[in-house]
Amino acid sequence: MKKTRIFAAVFGANLLFVFFNAAISWALAFFNITPYGRFVAAFFRGRTREETAARIESDRALFGSMLAEASTFANLFLTPASGFVMGLFAGAMLAEKSRLAAIWSIFAALPLSLFFLVKSGGGHERFLYLILFIAMTALGGLAGSAIFGKKKKETADVDV
């Protein structure tokens, strides 16, 4: 496996994670669904920094409870789903060997894992969220390798 292909898989997977996560977050906030979307809509959508700060200060208790719900939702569903998509991409790029695809998917997730560990709320629960994120990323790597590795093998077996 070439180093440039590995670098492209890791770099591309991280970019895909960021854009996929942002797109899903935007959609949830736009349609005002899920605890995350309701939280963003209630406190941030259509407000300037000053208006947002005033809104938060005016209803600190509601902000705290909605923030906890939104954080839990993002840690349990949003981030692992984005990790799965990231793993799919890395697994598709490195589809030759499924075990290596899963390992490289996990390596691709390491920078985001460190960020997740530092920025995620929840105390000791964040380690469980981190394990869920890494497991979903590895599953995505295996799935990407299985889906796209099969096509590569089929085309390699064809004699022209």
pLDDT digit string (tens) for 24-42?
989 988 888 889 889 988 8
Q: What is the largest CA-CA distance in the chain?
A: 72
- Model-level pTM greater than 0.85? no
Contact of 109 with 11, CB cutoff 8 Å: no
- Cα dist from 24 to 75, 80, 114, whole Å: 13, 12, 21
Among residues 2, 23, 9, 5, the alpha carbon closest in space to that of 106 is found at: 9
59 versus 153: the higher-pLDDT residue is: 59
